[in-house]
Structure formats: structure tokens, C-alpha cells
């Protein structure tokens, strides 16, 4: 049985009320150090065969701090949703009619005029997840993979496993710097633990 361990990045260096998805910013230094200190002893329990990461800096920094001598494979599919022109704006700066448009068409509204729709984001993550499962199952070996990613990506995958709608899965609690583990077998994926 293989295992995929998802690690959400630590707190980024941006104001709390800002909209960010694919906006590429560094992790806040103190929070990054605290995340490394907390995660390092937890991750020593696993014999890791491969490390995957979103290429965005806040994920890259955490992966490289925890595994400075390892090869890290970067996958754009592990990036957060693209909020388009909303990236970096405070939620109060985004026009009310645009937020209402998203609320009225949660799956198909183009975020920030040029970003992704929730449906497109979900398809991107789903395609990645299904391909990863197929590759692990086809290998015939038990492996442990680490994936450094974002809340939206992890929630999307958890929602698929639990057969939740996207609006429901987008509300799943997932702390920054947390670990979520999923076991894979030929009969499917099973959540081992979430938000540890």
C-alpha cells in the first residue's frame, strides 16, 4: 500500500485579508522556521521515495528547508487556484458585483476576469491526482510520496475521496503547515488523517 502525504505551506508573507492563489510570495520567516521545527520530527517516521512540490515559493521554501539534500520534483498542477486580477488585492478591494458573480456561479465564474474557474481548477487537480494514483498502482511497489502544496489542492483531493461537492470541500479545515495522509491501494484511496 502506498501513501501520499500532503503538506500545506506555512504562513505566507502577506496581509491576512489579501486574496492570493498563484501570487508568488515568500513564506513569513518566523512561521516557516516554526513549521520546519514542528514538521521535521513528524516526517522522520516515513521512508520517503519521492518529494513533489508546487513551484510556488512558499511551498518550495518549506520543502527545501525540510529536505535540503533531496531532489524535489516541481509540478505546476500542485499550484493553488489562479485568482486572476484579484491576486494580491484585499477582499474589500474586489468589486462587490464580481464577488456576487462568483457566489451565483461558484463553479463556472472566471475568477478575477483572467484566472481559473473553480471547475477548471478542480479538473486540473483531479487529472493530476488520478494520474499519480495510476502511476503508484502500476509500479506494484509500496511507496511514500510527499506533496508540498496548497489548501485548495488538498481540499479538492479530500473532497473527491469523500465524494463531497466542491462548495463543501472548500470549507474543510486545513491549517498552514499541516500534514494530511492518504493511503492508496488498488481498490482506491483512503484518508489516514487530516490536518495533523
Q: What is the pLDDT of residues 56-101, one digit of tens each?
A: 999 999 999 999 999 999 999 999 999 999 999 999 999 999 999 9
Instruction: Give the confidence band of 30 by pLDDT, cuts at 50, 70, 90.
Output: very high
| Predicted local confidence at residue 186, as pLDDT | 78
User: Mean pLDDT for the chain?
Assistant: 97
Stated pTM of the model: 0.97
Query: Per-residue pLDDT tens for 112-142?
Result: 999 999 999 999 999 999 999 999 989 889 9
State the pairing for strand pair 50-53/72-74.
parallel
The CA distance from 148 to 50, in Å, is 11
Cβ atoms within 10 Å of 70's Cβ, excluding its own: 13
DSSP assigned state of 110: -
The CA distance from 34 to 124, in Å, is 31
**Domains in the chain, please, with CATH?**
2-193 (3.40.50.1240)
Amino acid at each position: 500500500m502506498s501513501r501520499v502525504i500532503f503538506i500545506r505551506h506555512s504562513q505566507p508573507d502577506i496581509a491576512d485579508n489579501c486574496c492570493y492563489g498563484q501570487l508568488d510570495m515568500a513564506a513569513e520567516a518566523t512561521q516557516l522556521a516554526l513549521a520546519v521545527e514542528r514538521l521535521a520530527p513528524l516526517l522522520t517516521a516515513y521512508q520517503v521515495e519521492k518529494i513533489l512540490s508546487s513551484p510556488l515559493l512558499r511551498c518550495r521554501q518549506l520543502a527545501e528547508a525540510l529536505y535540503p539534500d533531496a531532489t524535489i520534483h516541481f509540478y505546476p498542477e500542485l499550484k493553488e487556484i489562479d485568482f486572476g486580477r484579484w491576486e494580491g488585492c484585499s477582499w474589500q478591494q474586489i468589486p462587490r458585483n464580481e464577488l456576487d458573480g462568483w457566489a451565483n456561479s461558484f463553479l463556472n465564474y472566471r475568477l478575477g476576469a483572467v484566472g481559473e474557474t473553480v471547475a477548471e481548477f478542480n479538473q486540473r487537480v483531479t487529472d493530476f491526482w488520478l494520474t499519480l494514483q495510476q502511476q503508484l498502482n502500476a509500479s506494484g511497489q509500496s511507496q511514500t510520496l510527499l506533496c508540498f502544496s496548497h489548501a485548495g489542492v488538498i481540499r479538492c483531493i479530500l473532497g473527491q475521496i469523500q465524494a463531497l461537492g466542491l462548495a463543501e470541500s472548500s470549507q474543510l479545515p486545513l491549517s498552514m503547515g499541516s500534514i494530511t495522509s492518504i493511503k492508496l491501494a488498488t481498490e482506491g484511496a483512503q484518508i489516514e488523517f487530516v490536518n495533523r
